[in-house]
Amino acid sequence: MRTSRINLITVFFIVIFCSCSGQRKEHEKANQELAIGPCDSLATAETKALYNNLKELAITKVLFGHQDDLAYGVKWWEEAGRSDVKETSGSYPAVYGWEIGNIEGDRNLDSVSFTKMKEWIREGYERGGVITISWHEHNPVSGGSAWDTSGRAVSHIIPGGSHHEIWKQKLDLLAEFMLSLKGNDGELIPVVFRPYHELTGSWFWWGKGLCTREEFIQLWQFTVNYLASVKNVHNLLYAYSTDFFDSEEYYLDRYPGDKYVDVLGFDDYGTVRDQESAAKTINELHLIAKIAGRLNKIPAWTETGLSSIPIPDWWTETILKRIKADSLTCQIAWVLVWRNARLDHHYAPFAGHPSAADFKKFRDDEFILFEDELPDLYH
Ligand code: BMA
């Protein structure tokens, strides 16, 4: 009787011990999985390297990016070797933003040729730059632009919806595009893909007011699963990017989950127009660094800019000062400014621009990296 009670107690403790150590092992395993790389476990070696290198570099440096940099500038269009950023700073940007809205056509919604875009993407990647792609795709239900918010499109393109097959055809084209991006040695070029951006606003058909939280998350998860599992696209890191935010709850409200996101980004043009809003930008930078630290993701300022940059010292006095406000604000991996479309719609300086001298100072700051200062990010 006595022996059997002791035995029972021993068995009880062994069971408890085993289950605790089992849980601990599970937990350790999960942590290791989180630590080794992107959410796509089949990501190519270069994509994994980019993820790990960006994550580490972000702790001490901030890469500078520009949208459509190699395609055109304020005073030129499709001229080989040109870049408004290089012509004012001495280097190409470290991050190249590209846009694939109108993926069914020969040119994107801003008239950039897809054939040439692929060449520019290879050119930037071969020099060591980072490629990020956004997607202002047309409204798949109405056929209108990305800004056409009619028809509650998201509800119709998720699985079970009337336009689900149509959306899959768009994703097929997108997959084809991503899989056609190859380096000189034939390897796939890693891309930070940033679909359904500014999701907290209601100006795009995928925006907050145009679909439910569940619909948005379903669209995101379907996109990632379909590209990876059905189309075998494994050269993507996925960036979730909101518009302006001021709390963690608001930022994460439509977050699709750790298994579907690699980069935590935000777009903010509104708070960089004046000095009065500095605290708002700094708060965003604090929050993004904290959330990314907790979730083991890469924080990034995925879009910003001041249209035409009428403030000559805007680069150092607004952007740089806020990025360097403290040890948290400087943890973003990159900051990207929007495209140099024309005199009344440009976000980087060009030769002779009033902010060009200050842009050079910004470029010379030890925190900020342009392309010619990048370490190897792909090995
Ligand atoms: C917007 C503007 C538009 C452009 C779109 C997609 O911010 O620059 O002119 O079509 O981005 O690049």
Q: What's the pLDDT band for 7 if we cut at 50, 70, 90?
A: low
Partners of 300 in beta bridges: 265
Site to substitute for ligand 1 among 338, 342, 343, most atoms within 8 A of C-beta = 338
Residue 262: pLDDT over 70: yes
Measured by CA distance, the residue closest to atom 9 of ligand 1 is: 110
Least-confidence region, from 15-24, 131-140, 307-316: 15-24
Q: What's the pLDDT band for 21 if we cut at 50, 70, 90?
A: very low
Known catalytic residue at 198: yes
Partners of 97 in beta bridges: 67, 132
Q: What's the pLDDT band for 246 if we cut at 50, 70, 90?
A: very high
Q: Report pLDDT for 14.
A: 46
Measured by CA distance, the residue closest to atom 7 of ligand 1 is: 338
Q: 168: exposed, middle or buried (C-beta count within 10 Å: 0-12, 13-18, 19+)?
A: middle
Least-confidence region, from 27-36, 177-186, 219-228: 27-36
Ligand 1 atom with least separation from CA of 99: 12
Distance 7 CA to ligand 1 centre (A): 73
Q: Report pLDDT for 31.
A: 42
How many angstroms from the chain centroid is the CA of residue 99?
12
Whether the Cβ atoms of residue 378 and residue 122 lie closer than 8 Å to each other: no
Catalytic, out of 87, 99, 137, 198: 198
Whether the Cβ atoms of residue 267 and residue 242 lie closer than 8 Å to each other: yes
- In the chain, the amino acid numbered 365 is D
Residue 4: pLDDT over 80: no
Q: Report pLDDT for 240.
A: 98
% of the chain with per-residue pLDDT over 70: 91
Distance CA 21, CA 34 (A): 19
Q: Report pLDDT for 37.
A: 85
Measured by CA distance, the residue closest to atom 3 of ligand 1 is: 110
Distance 255 CA to ligand 1 centre (A): 24
Q: Report pLDDT for 321.
A: 98
- Ligand 1 contacts (CB < 6 A) are 99, 109-110, 136, 338-339, 341
Distance 25 CA to ligand 1 centre (A): 48
Structure tokens that stand for 337 in this block: 């400014």
Among 319, 208, 199, residue whose Cα is nearest residue 261: 199
Distance CA 210, CA 202 (A): 7
SS3 for 194?
strand
Residue 85: pLDDT over 60: yes
Distance 273 CA to ligand 1 centre (A): 19
How many angstroms from the chain centroid is the CA of residue 70?
19
Distance CA 142, CA 79 (A): 36
- Provide mean pLDDT across the span 273-301: 98
Known catalytic residue at 303: yes
Distance 254 CA to ligand 1 centre (A): 24
Q: Report pLDDT for 33.
A: 44
Residue with tokens 């993004």: 288
- Provide mean pLDDT across the span 9-28: 45
Q: What's the pLDDT band for 2 if we cut at 50, 70, 90?
A: very low
